[in-house]
Structure formats: C-alpha cells, structure tokens
Amino acid sequence: MSGSQDRRDMLKLSGLGIAAGVMSGIGAGVGSVLTPEQAYAQAQPTSLLRTVLDRKKLIVGTGSTNAPWHFEDEKGQLTGMDIAMARILAAGLFDDPTKVEFVKQDPAARIPNITTGKVDIVVQFMTVTAQRAQLVAFSRPYYLEGVALLTSTKGKLKTYKQLTAAGKAARASVLQNAFADTMVKAALPQATVMQLDTQANAIQALDSGRADTAVIDLSTVRWLVKRTPNAYLDSGFSYWPQIYSAAVRQGDPDWLNWVNTAFAVAMFATEGEIYDKGLEDFFGQKPPVRKPGFPPI
C-alpha cells in the first residue's frame, strides 16, 4: 500500500473515531482530559483571566440609570441586559452568576476605567467604533442597536406605513443633536422634526400628543412596549444599526478570547438561560431558534 493511501486510511479512521466520540459523549480517554488546574495553567501568567480566577470574583464597570440596559429595580438591585451579560461571564468563570462586583460609572469613565485597571471589563451599552477600538479591545457583539419609531396607542398614526403616508403632517420628536434632522429624515423624509433636550422629553411629546412618533433607540422602544403595551406601539421600522460590545484592556488575548467564548456559548449554544431570560424580560423577545449544523453569525 502506498504512503498516500496509508494517510487517507488514517484520516478516515480518525474521522470515524471523532464522530463516534461525539455521538457517545466519550472523548479520546480520561487521560487526555485537562483538569481545571491544567487548563488554568495554560493562560499567560500576566493574563487577567488568571487574576480574576484567583480573586474569585469579576469586577464589571457599568451604569445604573439607563433601562433596559442597566438600572436599579424596586429593591435597589442592578438589573438590565448589560447586567445579564455580566452574570453570564461570572457563571462561566465560577459557575455562580452572583460572583460579580459592579462598579457604577459614568459613560465617560468607561475607557479610562478599563485602561487603568479599575475594572476587568465594561459592559455598558458601549457602541463599537474604529476610533474606540484603538483604545480598548472589543468583544464579539451582543446586541445590534438601532433607531426606531415609537408610537402611541392613542395616536392616529400608529404604523410606519401611516407615518410615511402622512408626509409633512407627521410630527417626529427626537433628542437634539447635530445629526437629529438627518436621522429622522432617513426614515420619514417629509416629517416635521421636533428636537428636544432629552430622550425622556421626546417621549413625553408623544405622550402629550404634540408628536406622532418619538424617534429613539430600538431597545428603548422594545422596553416601553414590553412594560406598557396599553400605551406604546412599535411602528414596525428600525434602521441606523450600531454594535454594542463589552470592552477590555488591549494586549490580553487570553482574557478577550475567553469573554468571546462565554458570550458565544450563551447566545448560540446550550447555555443560554441567562441570555434568553434577558431578551424576554427587557425586550419582550425570544432569540431565534438555534439550529445545529449552521455556524452563528
């Protein structure tokens, strides 16, 4: 038998062995399975992964005033989708989602607190940009934010089709900024734009009937519709996508790779209990069915 034939036969047998091992749930042998201590030793001595495991708790920078991402519940406890993502990491590290210390911080402190080592990771609805990626390392995305059109159950214009058909008669409230008009016109080219100083006031304009739609974050639309379906509606149109990711200090691939793995397993595999509950609790949504055989996006 030729050498090439030998190699083909070996590969064929190896493939069958691997398949059989997966089907039976049995690996290559007890001796080949890493112990937690051996797995721990693979990380670089300077990696934050080792530091966090030794400390036996995760330190996470986040906010406390922006539902549905991070806010305090009626008991004063932090909750929200960012908090759920942090607990996914704690569960992966310690098999205990409560082993996390939250550092409440202003959005302006997100990058400084990472680079100075005050926190291990920031999970605070942080938008990924090329400029920020020069300063911190971003995890795989955990949410694709966007702009959406909130409408009122009491209003005459409830759907995106009705808003566009109304033309100049449609009144849109939006948070005041340099891109406000452009952002509204991208969805409603003929609408009358009303710029206000806060997103809360943009929503209040809708509540009072001064606006037909509030142009706000998609996540906020879903949160409000989930909490008060008798008051608010999702018009059915969203656009202007932005990526939300966690951020860590640069130069530590072991830590970043571990965070990415923990997020991927929670979002796309069989350990999605915390992630799925967060989507339901804060956005009123269920994740797409996880279909074996196709890689996650």
The residues spanned by each domain of the chain are 38-136+249-283, 150-242
Query: What is the C-alpha end-to-end distance of the chain, expressed in Å?
Result: 44
pLDDT at 271: 84
> CA 52, CA 92: separation in Å to the nearest integer?
12
Tokens at 108, concatenated: 């302006």
pLDDT at 29: 42
pLDDT at 38: 64
- Rg of the chain over Cα atoms, rounded to whole angstroms, equals 24
pLDDT at 24: 43
Question: Could you name the CATH architecture of 38-136+249-283?
Answer: 3-Layer(aba) Sandwich (3.40)
pLDDT at 12: 39
> CA 183, CA 189: separation in Å to the nearest integer?
10
For residue 46, the number of C-alpha atoms closer than 13 Å in the C-beta half-sphere is 5
Contact indicator for 206, 196 with CB cutoff of 8 Å: no
Pick the CATH number of 150-242 from 3.40.50.2300, 3.40.190.10, 3.40.50.9100, 1.20.210.10: 3.40.190.10
Instruction: Identify the sign of the CA torsion 182, 199, 173, 188.
Output: positive
Spans of the chain below 50 pLDDT: 1-31
- Residue 192's nearest CA partner among 201, 205, 204 is 205
Contact indicator for 33, 40 with CB cutoff of 8 Å: no
- Amino acid identity of 173? S
Tell me whether strands 232-248 and 137-138 are parallel, antiparallel or unpaired: antiparallel
pLDDT at 265: 94
Contact indicator for 212, 150 with CB cutoff of 8 Å: no
